[in-house]
A and B are shown apart, each in its own frame.
Chain A
Amino acid sequence: MSTSLVERDTAQPTRTTAPLDRLLAAEVRWVLRRPRTLVMLGLFALIPVLIAIGIVVADRQAGGGLIGAVAGNGLVLPIAALTLSLTLLLPLAVAMAAADAIAGEASHGTLRGLLLAPVGRLRLVGVKAFGVLVVATLAVLVIAVVGVLAGSLIVGGSGQVVTLSGTTLGTGEALGRVALVAVWVIGQLAAVGAIALALSSLTEHPLVVLASVLGGLIVFGVLGAIPALDWLQPWLLTSGWGASADALRDPLPLGGLGESTLRALCYLAIGLGFTAVRMQRRDA
């Protein structure tokens, strides 16, 4: 027994990396223990509740749009709440997590320890990206789950969904559509998070990351609204963000959702690739 122990020790005398699962668990713990993350998730839970109360209080044939479709149609609420939040609030949450992940650690001086620690730089980027993705996923899940509950309890709608095409979906299929939108939103947020991480690796000031991401989203929105610049639309991440309404059409058209997901994957590759290069060269 003792010899095998010795052998194992000598067989890997230069182990320089910690097990990945432990790193990921530590990162998630670190992210979730921050009070601001918890407060943020709590506030996200309020969004569908507020929309539901607003719709019930207003109580008249609301106009068109996703919000109008929620009236008497509770299971549309999570989709509407996710779509509304995707415009600014969810990117804000993701940008906050990404800003803390690298720039925040740099400003506290703790990044030096991470860069000197026996953890590969690329692995560090992966762990940080995972932490951001966890925040995005949790935020989306909170909105989706609270949305389903608030939609069923406050708005009502007998578990069925009336689609924009005038057909009626059963509860199972309706929940499937909600899950589809949730996954799609997580994909879009992953793209935002990757770009935010790239910005985060460039600076030591978390506020710069936050301002750049939100400013960028607003600029994208403005560019997308100018008719003369419609050739620019396919390049903009935000131009496909109306596709979530497609989940309420029947038969389900996947073109818009698929194209915006592909675009998000491209932004994800750019953001993560840039972050990897930058962190590789960053001085401790």
Chain B
Amino acid sequence: MTAGRAWSRIGVGAALAGAVGLGLIAVPAGAGAAPELPPVSAQDLVSSVLTAKPGPFNGTVALDNALGLPSIPGAPAQLANGTSTARVWSGDDGKGRLSIPSGSDEKTVVADGTTVWTYDSADRTAAKHAVTPGEHAPDQRSATDPTAAAAQAIETLGKTSTITVDGTAEVAGRPAYDLVLAPNPTERTLLREVRIAVDAEKRVPTRLTVLANGSTNPALEIGFTDLTFGPQDASLFTFTPPPGTTVTDEPAPADKPEGTPGQSGPPAGTTVVGDGWDTVVVGKAPTAPQGRPTPGDQGRPGGAAPDLSSLGTPVSGSWGSGRLITTAVASAIVTDDGRVAGGAVPEQVLTEALAK
């Protein structure tokens, strides 16, 4: 029965094709061959980044978090270890839209140039912030928009680091230069290097990778998995609260839903010890949060954090005693007398700063 045998073979072929197809879906796209690009000096690359005008774009951002932050009740899921994605649309004049899905819910941030709306589908609430033009543009999206996050890192770390262009990479299917910031040998830090992929054509940072000492896997990687430049649909940047939504109006200067650590100068009552990679910020423990009254605002070391006393391990020294909280890239000490010291440094640097 030759016909039957032929059909059997087709059946086996179909099953094999299915199995191979599953494998193709399962195996990540992987880094293709490094693209060939004309060499560029680090100086030129950084300056072209600082002057780049990418124009409107949309894309998908993937965040791979292995920071090892202790779980803080009420903190957004993106702070915990794991991967998450967000979709970003960016228009001209500070217009933007950010969608952060989590499970069957979604947080949406829409900036139409004068107003920033934050919509949460879980409890169907919309918050409205008035912003002055120009203030919000880079900061609003910086936590999930690598463009702003990486440009900031270049500015602040340039003085105490060696900056090199280390080959090329492919990010979101686009060729990119890999800019590497490594701490100078004298810097006492937990970080090994920060790699920033800069799009070869548009000269915008498209991926930020933070590598810590003693680990080959990134402690934090945030980058575009999909990126398209071009005009965006204007209706994306408008928001009308849908029926059945609770709208809260927050006229005060916008409390960022996704803030950037160290985006402004140190608030009153804090001191900065050291500079560069081994900067340690010493401040008051958040017993009386000032100017951050909303319970939705999430804690990070030094911010308006929930009760920290249950976190970390007890430590003591000539500076007193407290609790040490360590993560892959940073540590913090909360002392019993109400001080907080934190930085991307090992414990010893923290205790020296506290002793000063």
Q: List the interface of chain A (C-beta within 8 A of B).
A: 61, 63-66, 68-69, 72-73, 121-122, 158, 160, 162, 164-168, 234-235, 242, 245-246, 249, 251, 253, 255, 259, 262-263, 265-277, 280-281
Q: Which of these, B4, B105, B119, contacts A121 with CB under 8 Å?
A: B4
Could you tell me if B21 and A165 are in contact, using CB atoms closer than 8 angstroms? no
B126 contact set on A, CB distance < 8 A: 166
B11 to chain A, nearest CB (A): 3
Residues of A within 8 A of B22 (CB): 234-235, 263, 266-267, 270
Chain B residue at minimum C-beta to C-beta distance from A259:
B25
| Contact A249–B106 (Cβ < 8 Å) | yes
Our pick among B5, B8, B17, B26 for the contact of A269 (Cβ within 8 Å) is: B17
The majority secondary structure among interface residues of chain A is: helix
A168→B245 CA distance, assembly (Å) = 12
Judge whether A121 and B121 touch: CB under 8 Å: no
Contact (Cβ within 8 A) A162 B123? no
Q: How far is the CB of A50 from chain B (nearest CB, A)?
A: 19
CB-nearest residue of chain A relative to B99? A165
Within 8 A of A (CB), among B79-121: 87, 99, 101, 103-106, 108, 110, 117, 119, 121
Cα distance A263–B110 when bound, in Å?
34
Contact with A along B4-43 (1 / 0, CB 8 A): 1101101111111111011001110000000000000000
- B57 interface hit (Cβ, 8 Å): no
Q: Is A277 a contact partner of B18 (Cβ separation < 8 A)?
A: no
Q: How far is the CA of A84 from the CA of B25 in the complex (A)?
A: 25
Interface flag for B243 (CB, 8 Å): yes
Among the listed B10, B15, B241, which residue makes an inter-chain contact with A270, where contact means beta carbons less than 8 Å apart? B15
Cβ contacts under 8 Å, A64 to chain B: 103-105, 121-123
A274 near B106 with CB under 8 A, answer no
What residues of B have a CB within 8 angstroms of the CB of A72 in the complex?
Answer: 243-244
Distance in angstroms from A158 CB to nearest chain B CB is 8
Query: Is there an interface contact between B242 and A164, defined as CB atoms closer than 8 Å?
Result: no
- Interface residues on chain B, number (Cβ under 8 Å): 44
Min Cβ gap B58→A in Å is 9
Report whether B242 and A122 are in contact in the complex, using a CB–CB cutoff of 8 Å. Answer: no
| Distance to closest chain B CB from A108 (angstroms) | 25
Q: Choose one: B7, B18, B25, B245; the contact of A166 (CB below 8 Å).
A: B245
Candidate in B7, B10, B245 with the most chain A CB atoms within 10 angstroms: B7
**10 tightest CB-CB pairs across the interface, nearest first?**
A269-B18, A273-B14, A64-B122, A273-B15, A276-B11, A234-B26, A166-B119, A270-B18, A277-B11, A266-B21
A235 pairs with B26, CB closer than 8 A: yes
How far, in whole Å, are A211 and B163 apart by their CA atoms in the complex?
Answer: 60
**What are 11 inter-chain pairs, A to B, with CB distance below 8 A?**
A64-B122, A65-B104, A68-B122, A69-B104, A121-B7, A162-B242, A166-B108, A166-B241, A234-B25, A234-B27, A269-B17
Residues of B close to A158: CB separation below 8 A: 243
Question: Known contacts A65-B122, A234-B27; can you find 9 more A-B pairs with CB under 8 A?
Answer: A64-B105, A69-B121, A158-B243, A166-B110, A234-B22, A265-B21, A273-B12, A277-B12, A280-B8
A272 to B236, Cβ gap below 8 A?
no
A242 pairs with B104, CB closer than 8 A: yes
Question: Per DSSP, are chain B's interface residues mostly helix, strand or loop, or mixed?
Answer: mixed
Q: Which residues of B contact A271 (CB under 8 A)?
A: 18
When chains A and B are docked, how far (Å) is the Cα of A263 from the Cα of B99?
Answer: 26
Q: Are A262 and B25 in contact (CB under 8 A)?
A: yes
Interface string of B121-158 (1 = CB under 8 A from A): 11110100000000000000000000000000000000
Which residues of the other chain, A, contact B103 by a CB distance below 8 angstroms?
A: 64-65, 242, 245
Chain A residues contacting B25 (CB-CB under 8 Å) are 234, 259, 262-263, 266
Distance between Cα atoms of A160 and B13 in the complex (Å)? 47
**CB neighbours of A63 from chain B (8 A):** 122-123
Which A residue's beta carbon lies closest to that of B9?
A277
**Does B14 contact A272, Cβ atoms closer than 8 Å?**
yes
Interface contact A274-B15, CB-CB below 8 Å: yes
Tell me whether B99 and A249 are in contact (CB under 8 A): yes
CB of B240 closer than 8 Å to a CB of A: yes
Docked Cα-Cα span, A201 to B82, in Å, equals 41
Q: Determine if B244 and A122 form an interchain contact, defined as CB atoms under 8 angstroms apart.
A: no
Please name all residues of chain B whose beta carbon is closer than 8 Å to the beta carbon of A255 when the two chains form the complex: 60
Contact of B10 among A253, A262, A276 (CB under 8 A): A276
Chain B nearest CB from A264 CB (Å) reads 10
Q: Would A251 and B236 count as touching, CB distance under 8 A?
A: yes
Please measure, in the bound complex, the distance between the C-alpha atom of A46 and the C-alpha atom of B117, giving whole angstroms.
39
Q: Is the CB of A164 within 8 A of B14?
A: no
Most buried by B among A66, A242, A266: A266
Check A273/B18 contact, CB under 8 A, given A68-B122, A167-B242, A280-B7: yes
In angstroms, Cα B21 to Cα A259, docked, is 11
Query: Whole-angstrom distance from the CB of B16 to the nearest CB of chain A?
Result: 7
Shortest beta-carbon distance, A273 to chain B, in Å? Answer: 3
Most chain B CB within a 10 A radius of its CB, from A121, A158, A242, A271: A121
CA distance A106 to B82 in the complex (A): 48
Q: Is the CB of B21 within 8 A of A166?
A: no
Given contacts A234-B26, A249-B106, contact A165 B119 (CB under 8 A): yes
Cβ–Cβ < 8 Å partners of A266 in chain B: 18-19, 21-22, 25
Smallest CB gap from A253: residue in B? B87
